[in-house]
Amino acid sequence: MTLADLGTVLKLTTGGIIGAVLYWSLYGREKTEDEINRDRENSAHSNSGNIGLNSSGSFRHKRSRSGSNLTSSTGGGGDSNAQLIDLLHNTMIEYILNEKTSHVITIDSTATLDYALMRMNENQVISLPVVDLSTKQYIGMLSIVDIAAFLSQFPSEDSPNTPVSEVLKYNRVPFLPLYVNSPIQMLIHVMAHHVPQVPIMSRQTIVVDIVSRLNVLSFINENIEALGNKANSSIKSLDLLSKTISTVNQNSKVIEAINLMNVEQTTELAVIDDEGKIVGNFSAADLRKLSIYSFNRCYEPISKFITLEPENLNIVIPSTTLRSTICKFVENDAPILWIVDNQMKPVSSITHIGLMKYLLNLSTSLSDTSTI
C-alpha cells in the first residue's frame, strides 16, 4: 500500500477502521518514528472537532457530561456526594479526550536527547512516549522531569547527544498507561501519585492520547457543581495550601535551578529577587529551549534564561474559593498558583498534584461512606 493509498483509506473509513490503521502502523511492518507520527496525525486530521476514542479505538464525538445532567440524574441536585461519585466513578476517560489532549508525538529510543527536546519545543509538550522500533513496543515516557534529573547528573555540553534510552534510566515516573474506557477516578488515582501525564491507550495498545492533570482540572471546572458546598469553600479551610515551597534567586544559574528541582523533587520554583520578593516562575518546561547548540545557556542566570514578569504571576489568597482556584488554573494554563504575603514574598502554593490528592481523598471517602 502506498502512502497515497493510505491517505485515501484514512479519509474514507470510519472510526473503527482508524483504530486498525493505527495498530497496523506500529505492528504491521518496520516503520520509522516519523512514519508512526505521520499516521497518527493523519488520523487526527480526518476526525477534526471534539475527538475521543472508545475502547475499540474508534473515534467518538461525545463531550463530558455536564453538572446539570448529573443533577438531573441524582434527583434535583440535593445529593452532591452522589454527584461527585457518579462524575468520577462512572465517567470514562474517553469523555475528556478532545482537541487539547489528542496531540501525541512518539520518539524512537535511539534518538538523541537534543532531538527529543526539539520535538517537545516544536509541539509544546512536556512528555513523549518512547518506542523501541526493534521490538515495536512502548518502553516508557520521556518527560521533561527525566531530562532535568539527567542534566543534573551530567551537566555536559555533550549531554544532548545522549540516546533517549539512556536518559530513561533516570525516569522518576513509571510508564502507567490507562485505557479509554477506564474511569476518571482511576486517572486521578494515578495522577495523585506523582504521575503528571498519563498515556491513554486504545484496546490495541496504541497510545492515542496523553492526558495531563490540567486536563482533569478542566473537566472538574466544567462540572464544578458536583463538588457541592466544597466548591465555595476557601482553599485554606480545605487544607490545600502547601506546607513548603522551593525558591531560587533570579541571579542563580539555570543549572543550579535544575539541581534544586532534582533535589526537591519538584517541577516549579518561585524565582525571587535579592529582597525575597517573587518575580517569576521557573518551570521544568522551560528546559525545552535547550539544545546541543544552546546547552551553554545552562550557565546563564535565570533572569536571562526566562522572562520575568511579576505582574503576570498567577497568585491567589488563602480565602480564594476552590471554584475560583480551579477556574484560575484552567483559564491561565497555570502549572502552579502562588500565595504571597503583603510584601510579595512567596509563602505557599497550590499545585496540580495537591488538587488531585484532594479529589481522590474526597471521592474515596464519599464512596466509602455511601456503602455503609
Tell me which residue of 310, 329, 312 sits closest to 321, measured CA to CA.
Answer: 329
Q: Are 251 and 299 in contact (CB under 8 A)?
A: no
Please tell me the class of the 3-60+95-212 domain. alpha beta
Fold match flag (3-60+95-212 vs 231-360): yes
Question: How would residue 261 be classed by pLDDT, with cut points 50, 70 and 90?
Answer: very high
Over residues 243-267, the mean pLDDT reads: 95
Where in the chain does DSSP place strands (E)? 52-53, 59-60, 107-108, 127-132, 137-143, 178-179, 197-201, 207-212, 247-249, 268-272, 278-283, 336-340, 346-351
Domain limits, the chain: 3-60+95-212, 231-360
Q: To which CATH superfamily is domain 231-360 assigned?
A: CBS-domain (3.10.580.10)
Asked if the model's pLDDT at residue 257 lies above 60, the reply is yes
Residue 320 CA to residue 327 CA, distance in Å, equals: 11
Tally of CB atoms within 10 A around 32: 10
* Percentage of the chain lying above the pLDDT 70 cut: 75
User: What's residue 365's pLDDT?
Assistant: 72
Determine how β-strand 247-249 pairs with β-strand 268-272. Answer: parallel
All residues at 6 or more sequence positions from 216 whose CB lies less than 8 Å from its CB, including other chains: 96, 184, 187, 188, 191, 356
User: What's residue 70's pLDDT?
Assistant: 46
